[in-house]
Amino acid sequence: MASQIWWGAGVPGTLADVKIHPDGGVEVICGTQDIGCGTRTYMATIAAETLGLEPEDIIVKIGNSDYPWAPISGGSLTTPSVAPATRDAALKASGQLKQMAAEKLEISPEDIVLKEGKLVSKTNPDKSVTFTEIARSLRRETVFHGSRKGMPSEYAYNSFGAHFAEVEVDTLLGKIKVLKVVAVHDIGRVINRQTAESQVVGGITQGLGTALFERRIVDQNTGRLVNPNLRDYKIPTSLDMPEIVPLFIDKPDPYINNLGTKGLGEPPRIPISPAIANAVYNAIGVHLREIPMTPDKVLQALKQKEAV
Amino acid sequence: MKNFKIAQPSDFKQAAHLLAMEKSGFYPMAGGTDLLDEIKNGIISPEAVVDLSSIPNASFIQTEKNAVHIGALTLVNDLIESSLIETSYPVLHQAAHSLATPQLRNVGTVGGNLCQRPRCWYYRDPQILCWKKGGENCFAYAGKNKYHAIFGGEFCFIVHPSDLAPALICLDAEVLIATAEKEKKLKMADFYHLPQENRRGETILEPGELLKEIVLPLPKKEEKSIYLKIKERSTWDFQWSRRLLRENFPEKGSMIFGSF
């Protein structure tokens, strides 16, 4: 087992826009980027959920520096920056739409909920107006600006995680086989479970490779990197991967931002190598102090243990 | 990468003739999984590549009276899919199954696997002129040599990467070699040279000689064989060490070690 503490609270001042067109079309716009962690997916989901629509109703525009400012993707800060800004813009949009619907339906805006493409009275569900109709009465495309607000004072902000590994060590050949990894992460609210689990599996794949196989080997006499290819620089194959169980505490952080969410970019990559190393220690009773833990190092360690 | 010509001979005679005519700079290619790698990485720059895949009827697994014949251009995957190989020569079947990836086994040939060049990373580095490539030194001797030979050596510490070779040696196979004029047969065990015996190649093949066929003695009853291979990762890896065992109870048994 090994644990992890990382940043991932996001960057205050991140901006995002929600643009509503008179035909009912909705765009979510932010100068961020999707490096594979699902930025487009959660931007659409957050706007859709706030506006009572489906994610496929939302057009996401990112990857352009003309769009509202967002930080780089690094240090697990994209989601906790972009998601709260998107939520903020969508809340402002829903606020105005509720106001307009309230006048039309002659009820209080607090009595209105946005769901299934409609603005509906909570107390009298017969009273409703469609999202498209209200959008039409905006008469022109209307932009709502959102931002990720400041950090809570008097608190430290971190994400937490722990990985548990079960390994098998062949003491004759020195080979380590990772059988199962249980990965638990506390990142506040999980915005999208599927992409979050996928991020954990990806981090574990990378970290398992580093733990067991991957190393750049430089020849001391020529200064040449002797393994600059995927044959000699070995990444794990599907047969080397263990069963992976990703788990999340999934409890919104009440202070961090309006969604209570933190980043998950790097956390799953952090504790896996030491978790495997600790499991190996548990199995053979000797600590390996260097990664990758290749068979030669395992055999060496076992030999030293015998000598003691 | 330099431009090169492609020759597509229609039989082994023609191919051998081309390769004999132009001693350096003409390279035979079967599946191309190794040769193209060498060209792209700048290890060799051929004048011309003699594409053996254009030769018809060179890919087969046939049982004749006293032997099983395997064409040099038979795909490694064909060995895996052959029920004859699976039931009669398990050591060869297992060796074929253990090598490379399905993609490579679907392109790579038996002959190509036996004639592939060493995987030594100093040999494969275009910037390093090692002994094997006509230089003065073997860089593995005092370098990073985890995957190099632990027996022998002297001038060059390569190990042969073929998985099929030790299996075929274990099975007492013979190879049929074609030249432009004639064909000759010799024991698989005599097919390879030690580095000091042939600096530029690993086999006894001279320019103008081509591996045409593998000839396996008919399987004997009561014979058992197994191929064990140690790899660092579970698949898509060259062997660190391998051990082959063939036994014909109760008369005799043989055990062969390969390495890498």
A295 in contact with chain B, both atoms CB, cutoff 8 A: yes
Contacts of A195 (CB under 8 A, 6+ apart): A37, A38, A41, A42
Distance, in angstroms, between A180 CA and closest chain B CA? 16
ipTM: 0.87
Identify all chain A residues contacting B125, using CB atoms and an 8 Å cutoff: 224, 226
Q: How far is CA B225 from the centre of its chain?
A: 20
Using CB atoms, which residue from B119, B139, B234 is nearest to A222?
B139
Distance from CA of A175 to the nearest CA of B (A): 7
**In this complex, which of B119, B127, B142 lies closest to A221 when CB atoms are compared?**
B142
Measured between beta carbons, the chain B residues lying within 8 angstroms of A237 are 233-236
- Grade residue B250 by pLDDT with cuts at 50, 70 and 90: low
Residue B248's pLDDT band (cuts 50, 70, 90) = low
Cis status of the peptide bond prior to A109, with omega within 30 of 0: no
Whether B233 and A236 lie within 8 Å, measured CB to CB: yes
pLDDT of residue B153: 84
Give the burial string for B204-217 (b: 16+ CB within 10 Å, else e): ebeebbbbbbbbbe
- State the smallest CA–CA distance between residue B11 and chain A in angstroms: 34
CA pair distance A116, A89, nearest whole angstrom: 20
Tell me the pairing of strands A176-186 and B26-29.
unpaired
Q: Do B233 and A234 touch (CB under 8 A)?
A: yes
Total residues found in chain A within this entry: 308
Specify the pLDDT at position B252: 64
* Helix (H) / strand (E) containing A29: strand A26-29
pLDDT tens digits for range B177-191? 999 999 999 999 999
Integer Cα distance of A142 and A157 in angstroms: 35
pLDDT at B251: 58
- Residue B202 pLDDT > 70: yes
> Alpha carbon of A255 to those of A9, A149, A260, B220: distances in Å?
10, 11, 7, 77
Q: Where are the alpha helices (DSSP H) in B99-238?
A: 102-105, 110-115, 164-170
- Mean of the per-residue pLDDT values of chain B: 91
CA distance B122 to chain A (A): 7
Structure tokens at A75: 């240090």
Contact call for B122 and A226, based on CB within 8 A:
yes
Interface probe for B, chosen from A176, A222, A233, A291 (most Cβ of B below 10 Å), is A222
Query: Is a pLDDT exceeding 90 seen at residue B245?
Result: no
Across the interface, whether the CB atoms of B128 and A224 are under 8 A apart is answered yes
The three-class DSSP label of residue B103 is: helix
Residues in chain B, overall count: 260
Q: Which residues pair with A128 in a beta bridge?
A: A120
Q: How confident is the model at residue B260 (pLDDT cuts 50, 70, 90)?
A: very low
Residue B12 pLDDT > 70, yes or no? yes
> Measured between alpha carbons, how far apart are the two ends of chain B, in Å?
29
Of A175, A226, A239, the CB nearest to B125: A226
Lowest-pLDDT choice from A89-93, A113-117, B104-108, B205-209? B205-209
Q: Do B128 and A240 touch (CB under 8 A)?
A: no
Closest chain A residue to the Cα of B146, Cα to Cα: A296
Q: A178, A219, A293: best mutation site toward chain B, by most B Cβ within 10 Å?
A: A219
CA B85 to chain CA centroid, Å, is 18
Which domains occur in chain B, in start order? 57-118+159-259 (3.30.465.10)
Per-domain residue ranges for chain A? 7-147, 159-307
- 3-class SS of residue A269: helix
Q: List Cβ neighbours of A266 (8 Å cut-off, separation of 6 or more).
A: A6, A8, A75, A76, A203
> Between A224, A226, A237, which is nearest B234 by CB?
A237
- Does B232 sit within 8 Å of A295, measured CB to CB? yes
Distance from the Cα of B236 to chain A's closest Cα (Å) equals 8
pLDDT at B258: 65
Residue A101's SS3 state is: helix
User: Which residues of chain B does A239 touch, with a Cβ-Cβ cutoff of 8 Å?
Assistant: 233-235
Per-residue pLDDT band for B21 (boundaries 50, 70, 90) equals: confident
| Min distance A233 CA to chain B CA atoms (Å) | 11
Active-site entry in A106, A214, A266, A306: A266
Q: Which residue has the tokens 């990894």?
A: A181
Instruction: Report residue B243 as tokens.
Output: 């051990």
Nearest CA in chain A to B124: A226
Say what angle helices A272-284 and A295-307 make with each other, to 10 degrees: 40
Suggest the residue from A210, A217, A225, A226 to mutate for an interface test with chain B (most B CBs closer than 10 A).
A226
Give the model's confidence band at B138: pLDDT under 50 very low, under 70 low, under 90 confident, else very high.
Answer: very high
Q: How confident is the model at residue B23 (pLDDT cuts 50, 70, 90)?
A: low
Q: Which residues of B touch A224 (CB under 8 A)?
A: 125, 127-128
pLDDT score recorded for residue B249: 54
**Inter-chain Cβ pairs, chain A and chain B, closer than 8 A:** 51
Which one of B40, B233, B240 makes the best mutation probe of the A interface by having the most chain A beta carbons within 10 Å? B233
In angstroms, what separates the C-alpha of A298 from chain B's closest C-alpha? 12
Residue of B nearest to A216 (CA): B144
Rounded Cα–Cα distance for residues B221 and B107 (Å): 33
User: CA dihedral in degrees (A122, A128, A132, A138; nearest 10)?
Assistant: -80
- The residue in chain B having the minimum alpha-carbon distance to the alpha carbon of residue A240 is B234
Is A219 close to B237, i.e. CB distance below 8 A? Answer: no
CATH 3.50.50.60 for domain A7-147, yes or no, is no
> What is the second-level CATH architecture of the domain A159-307?
2-Layer Sandwich (3.30)
The answer to whether A7-147 and A159-307 have equal CATH topology is yes
Kindly determine whether residue B237 and residue A232, on different chains, have CB atoms separated by under 8 Å. Answer: no
Task: Indicate if A27 belongs to the active site.
Answer: no
Spell out the residues 6+ positions from residue A51 whose beta carbon is closer than 8 angstroms to its own: A18, A26, A90, A93, A94, A97, A114, A131
The residues that bridge with B257 in the sheet, in sequence order, are B243
The stretch B26-49 carries a mean pLDDT of 95
> Is B236's CB within 8 Å of A237's CB?
yes
In chain A, which stretches have pLDDT less than 50? none
- Give kind and range of the element (H or E) at residue A120: strand A118-121
CB burial of residue A61 (10 Å; 0-12, 13-18, 19+): middle
Inter-chain CB proximity B230 and A173 less than 8 Å = yes
Q: Is the peptide bond before B250 cis (omega within 30 degrees of 0)?
A: yes
